[in-house]
Amino acid sequence: MNEIKMIPINKLFPHKDNPRKNLGDLTELADSIRTNGIMQNLTVIPNGKDSYTVLIGHRRLEAAKLAGLSELPCAIVEMDEREQVATMLLENIQRSDLTAWEQAKGFQMMLDLGDTVEGISEKTGFSKSTIHRRLKIAELDEEAYKESEGRQVTLEEYLNLSSIEDVNQRNKLLKSIGTPNFDWEYRRVLNEQIINAAMKSILPVLEERHIKEINGSEYRYDCLKRIPFSDFSPEQLDFGEDVKNLYYKVSEYNKSVDIYADRPEVPNPEQAPELKELKKRAEKALEDMKALNAAAFALRKNFVLKLKLTAKNTPLVLRGALVANVISDYYASNLPELLDEAFPLKKDEEPTVRLFGEERQRRILDRLSANPSMAPWFVFISFVDSDTRGYNDSKYISSIRIPGYSKSTKLDAIYDWLISLGYEMSDEEKALRDGTHEIFHRFDAEIAAEESVDDDDEEEDDIDEDEILDEEDEDIEED
């Protein structure tokens, strides 16, 4: 049995390594203590100076001070530093009192004192993977983290950061966490990480085969094969002896390495060098436009995937169903993939894409009947949204296609419906929607130059016409 005795409150001090940094509002607890007294003793350790350090009961200590108590019942224990940290951490975790940051710092302290991830897992009940994710949070910049806490960040968003390996990138993402831009920035960084990780093993193989990277446009080459990162192997690069020169390009959009070979180039004497360069830039812009549309669709899709039907949002979901019925195309070509993404296939179940007619309709109705809370997802599918839908249209400079801006009634309707349900557009999406995104203005100088040439041509035509009229007047006078 631990010794329990009444200790003067002025001899009790908080532990410097208490994982819980924010004690919260103590008013209610102080009122209870003032009325009923301390119902549970504190746990303390002697510090050898006729005073004690609190292990368990920091909130009770501070609330007792507010209530005006002069002494408190305390259980006196002896523990080494590691046991002290573990005890405080376990006490708060069991009461769900710690934030993710406080848990992370507590786990880090236990590691610093010689514990292991396996040992922490056994003592706390947290899985090893959760502990590893929390430890990555502990690496973040503390000031930036504290600032982000004021933006009502969800635990899921903080945990998403743990999937980013570079701590500098994680700290940069902290600036946007809790804002509508976070998902966009997070996916961009995660995408770069996936590509860089894949290329660490792929690049040496390409260099060994003397396969060079395409720095400019790939459209003047013949594409031989698209190899997904997950399916890459040296055998995929065997094309026979007839193919002499090979090139590669990383496709961020498809998460693949695309392999190319030389294509005989037919000379075009009419095409000036500057037009060739313009064509390369235009092709790059069209690829970027495709990637932007895909990123925006991913945000819309993931928002609805997390959305559940509630009494509050039911009228909004029904309104969305009516709007979708008015504006949507006849057939959703990506419906099978979206359906199976939301509802993973059971064992030995055929993918929806292989079903037709009544079989597919029955599959959809069965899924909806079994998952009525997923009604927003079915409405989203009926909007026929996809990763190719955007606010872009084609413009041309000297017969070369470039991204142009165009309003989209259908996409506006989708966004308006999502916003009514709580969706927040990122800055990138807003700029795409209102036409201010830089991708729509990359060729403004070239467009202005072409329009200037056209204006000059019109002016010359006007002058020629005036000269003709003057000559006609002179002829009349002579007659």
Q: Coil, strand, or helix at residue 175?
A: coil
Residue 424 located in a structural domain: yes
pLDDT more than 90, % of the chain: 31
pLDDT value of position 468: 44
Residue 241, burial from CB neighbour count under 10 angstroms (0-12, 13-18, 19+)? exposed
Q: Per the domain annotation, does 184 fall within a domain?
A: no
Could you give the angle at the alpha carbon of 363 between the alpha carbons of 359 and 368, nearest 5°?
150
Q: What is the pLDDT of residue 153?
A: 79
Say if pTM beats, i.e. exceeds, 0.75: no
Q: Are residues 230 and 349 in the same domain?
A: no
At 479 the pLDDT is: 43
**Residue at 342: amino acid letter:** A
244-266 b/e (C-beta count within 10 Å ≥ 16 → b): eebbbbbbeeeebbbbbbeeeee
Tens of pLDDT along 33-49?
A: 888 888 888 999 998 77
Question: Which region holds residue 382: left if phi is over 0, alpha if psi is between -120 and 50, else beta?
Answer: alpha
Q: Calculate the dihedral angle through the C-alpha atoms of 430, 436, 441, 445, rounding to the nearest 10 degrees.
A: -170
The token pair at 60 is: 């009770």
Q: Are 117 and 132 in contact (CB under 8 A)?
A: yes
CA atoms within 13 Å, Cβ hemisphere of 382: 18
217 and 269 share a domain?
Answer: yes
CB neighbours of 466 closer than 8 A, spacing ≥ 6?
Answer: none
Whether residues 141 and 218 share a domain: the answer is no
The domain in which residue 478 lies consists of: 451-479
Q: Are 86 and 21 in contact (CB under 8 A)?
A: no
Q: How far is residue 237's CA from residue 231's CA, in Å, rounded to a whole number?
A: 12
Report the alpha-carbon angle 49-115-59, nearest 5. Answer: 50
- Give me the residues of the chain with pLDDT under 70, please: 1-2, 93-98, 264-271, 328-334, 453-479
Q: Do 287 and 418 belong to one domain?
A: yes
Q: Tell whether 400 is covered by a domain.
A: yes
DSSP secondary structure string for all residues of 417-472 = HHHHTT----HHHHHHHHT-SGGGGTTHHHHHHHHHHHHHHHHHHHHHHHHHHHHH
Do 12 and 52 touch, CB atoms closer than 8 A? yes
Residue 181 lies in a domain: no
**307 and 357 housed in the same domain:** yes
| 397 belongs to a structural domain | yes
**284 and 314 fall within a common domain:** yes
What does each C-alpha distance from 367 to 150, 185, 212, 354, 360 come to in angstroms?
Answer: 39, 33, 48, 16, 11
**305 and 436 housed in the same domain:** yes
**Looking at the 3D structure of the chain, how many domains does it have?**
4
pLDDT at 421: 95
Same domain, 288 and 255: no
Is residue 469 assigned to a domain? yes
**70 contacts: CB under 8 Å, gap ≥ 6:** 8, 9
Provide CB contacts within 8 A for 364, sequence distance 6+: 335, 339, 378
Amino acid at the residue 405: Y
Assess whether 159 and 138 both reside in one domain. Answer: yes
Residue 446 in any domain: the answer is no
- Residues 206 and 167 reside in one and the same domain: no
Both 23 and 138 in one domain: the answer is yes
Which residue has 């390369």 as its token pair?
280
Domain boundary among the residues 176, 203, 227 is at 176
- Asked if 7 and 16 touch (Cβ cutoff 8 Å), the reply is no
Residues 17-47 as b or e (16 or more Cβ within 10 Å = b): bbbbeeeeebeebbeebeeeebeebbbbbee
Same domain, 368 and 462: no
* Domain-located, residue 183: no
Question: Which of 257, 275, 293 is a domain's end point?
Answer: 275
